[in-house]
Structures are given as C-alpha cells and as structure tokens.
Structure 1
Amino acid sequence: MAFGILFRTIIAPGTFIAPGMVSLIVYKLCTVLLILGMNWLFIGQKIYFANLHVLTWVILLVVWLIESGLLVKVHGFGHLPWSITMALIPGFVEELGMRGVVFGALRQRLRGQHARLNAFIISAVLFALLHLVNLTGENVMAVLVQMISALGGGFLFAALYERSGNLLSAMVYHFSFDYITVGMGMPGVHTSAAATPVTFIAPLVVFVIEVLIAVAVMRLGKPEHRDRLAVKMGL
C-alpha cells in the first residue's frame, strides 16, 4: 500500500487511470517484483500453480466472448484493450500477492481451532483495505464500493485457491469478474455523486452472493476435493 501511495502521488501523479495505462503497467510490474522479492526475503511462501482442464478453458472462452460482446455493444471495439488491461493486470498481481503469498502464508502458519476461518477473514479484510490506496485518485464513495466488492471477492478467490490448489483458478475468475464490471466503466471516469444507501445495494448483493458461493465451493463435493491446497502444503 505504501508503494502504491508513493507511486500515485509522487512518481506518476494524475496519470494513473487515463491516459496513464503505461503508468498502470509500470506500477503493477514493480508491484510484482516487490511481492516476489519480499516473499523471497522474508516469508518464503510457495505459490501453487497448475494448468486448467481443457473443458474449463472452453467454458472460460465462451464467458469471455460473451463479456466482450456486451462491452463492444456498449462502448465499441476500441474499448476492449483498456478493459482487458484493467482486468488482466490486477487479476494477476493481486492474486499473486493476496492469495498466493498472504492467504497461503496464513493457511500454512496459523494454528488453532479456527485457523482456517481466520485465514479467510484476515486475507479478505487485508484485500479490502488494500483498495484504500485508490483514494489517491478516486473519491471515497467509489473506494468504499470497491472495498465491499473486494471483501466478498477475497473470500471467493481464496476458496477457489484452497479447493483447487491452483492459483490460476483464482486469477481467471478475478479477470472474468473485473473484465465485465470494470470494463463497463470508462477510462478516467469516476463516480462523483453523494453516497446514499441505494449506492451500496448492488455491491452488497454481490458481496453476499460471493460469500455464499465461497461457502458452497468449500463444502460441496467429496472431502478429498475440498482442500487440495492443504494437501499440497502438507497440512
């Protein structure tokens, strides 16, 4: 978060969202290097990847084509590169750091009766708080909406990672979600209206849905298929 504030306010102020796509790419690239470097120096948390099944890729391709069709209908073809970039880079970087390193480290190191639940809660809350860095370029209401969405997403992304033992599954879901939700916006456009209870209805509904899906992901199916991450970690 400190690096994000430094980059947005001093290194590249006023250019982060639009037309600052280069700034975004540089910022996220530096973030990846920072995450990997700090993990290597201080934590040494192993991150688990595996390829997805062919059928999964086919389903994802269909979903992405549908999302692309909706974005083209609303904004035109020229909007797609921005939408893809704004979904792909955060989806990769945030999952690498928050699920791969943070959630993985919590799952492997926390002990006690509620260790698993605590890992979910702590990592999701940290993921939501991470979005406070956006206050450097967006208004408070927009950031609060992002934090609500991130909190629910934090539970779901962690559930996908834990069940599959494959960070790629969390990354592709994160990309798919951001591709349509962020992509429906426009570069450099931020909500400026005053916050009202109605403003938060949609994010709260999404939050509840994501938490319910996360619970289903962790509870449905055979016991040996519910926590492949723990098996890989030797828990």
Structure 2
Amino acid sequence: MRNELLSTAEMAEADRLAIAAGPLDGYGLMQRAGEAVATLVLARHPGAKRAHVLCGPGNNGGDGYVVARLLAEAGVDVALWALGEPRPGSDAALAAAACTLERRPLSALTPEDGSLVVDALFGAGLSKPLSGDAKAAVDIVTGMNLPVVAIDLPSGVSADSGEVLGSAFLAVLTVTFARKKPGHLLLPGRERCGEIVLADIGIRDEIIDEIAPRTLENRPGLWIANFPTPAVDAHKYKRGHTSVFSGGPLAT
C-alpha cells in the first residue's frame, strides 16, 4: 500500500488528470465512488432499519445521490435529504436526476432510532465552519447516537488540517478515494472518522506520481530501508547501547 496523502488541492488535480486521461469522465468517477460506498454500507450494516442519505450541493452530494439510488435498488428503505441544489449541468446534477427518490429539505430531517445516516454533505470540500441546516443535522444525528457512514471525510472536518470546523459528524466508517487525506490522520479529525476504507475508483498510480504529493503517512515502509542490516556475526555490543535513567517503579 502506498503512503501518499493528498491535500484538497492535490485531490482536485488528481480528479482533473484522471478525467483528462480517460476512460472515465467526472460522472464515471462519481458512479465508481457511489458504488464503493453503497457496497460497504450493504456489507457493514445489513440490519439497518432505514438509511438516511444527506446530500450537499457539490460532488460529495453527487456521490450521495448515487449511493441513495443504489441502496434503494438493493431494497433498502432510503430517505433522501438535500441541502440545496446541484449546479445545473454538473456531474452532481446528473447524479441527482438519475435518482428518482423523493428529495426532502435537510431542514426537515427526522431520522428514526435504529436508522443509518450516510453523510454526503461536504466531505473534503469544506473550508468554513458548518452552520444553519448542516450544523443542525450534525446535532440531531449526534444527539441520537446514530451510526454514520461518511463519504470522503465526515462533514465538518478539514481535509488538510484535521481541524473540526465548529462541529462535525462522528462516523463509524469513512470511505475515501485514491489516497487518504491529512485530515484522516491528524487530530481531532482522526477521532471523527471511525474506520477508514480506501476505495479504488480508477485514479491510477501514475497520476499520483505526476502530482508528486508533498505529504506522506508515517509507516515503516517509509523509513525501514534506512535501518542498517546486521551482519551475520553481529551481537548486541555491535549494535549500540541504550541507557535508561529513571526513578523507582512507583515514581515513573
């Protein structure tokens, strides 16, 4: 597994390069993302009484419309809640048009106990604190302690810093794409993500190489090659010494 992390700007560039390279266009990438999330929802939460899908006006919301449609086609009782309308002609607008479920305003959100929430409000695209109906939705869902599956990143968490922008969903599962973002690993956002699953939607490694991300996840693969390999005849006195200065067992 590669360890690059993508900032918001780098992820946008990865999308742009992937679309330019083909064969998938932006709508095709959105379909792949929605399929990945829907598959995980069905696998991880087969007993959910109902799924409430919360869709924002951007591409994260577009992913949500795909998820809502696929869950409904799989026989799940789906309630669809929208925060605004997608921009006409956008990929999100195409996804919304393909989803024939009744669309209700997020301001009227009324989830039931035992239901599941899919957060497709903002994901990694948020740069200011949640407010209005979005913040109210977070408060309602959090107050009811409902399980949340977040698309890309729990809405309210900064993708670049991990900062909680006022308030944010507390997810049990976050599905992200291509590469993780810094906000998945940095506190306090890390605590909001739950389990993080990285889904392949068709953005090739060569595209990530072209971007040359500046941030890497700290894993052994990053530095293990710099450790000296001990010789066959090596023993503990050839590999350095460690000194420990401490108090008694009850003092440290």
TM over 0.5, shorter chain:
no
TM-score, length-scaled by structure 2: 0.23
Report the structure, 1 or 2, having the larger helix content. 1
TM-score, length-scaled by structure 1: 0.24
Report the structure, 1 or 2, having the larger strand content. 2
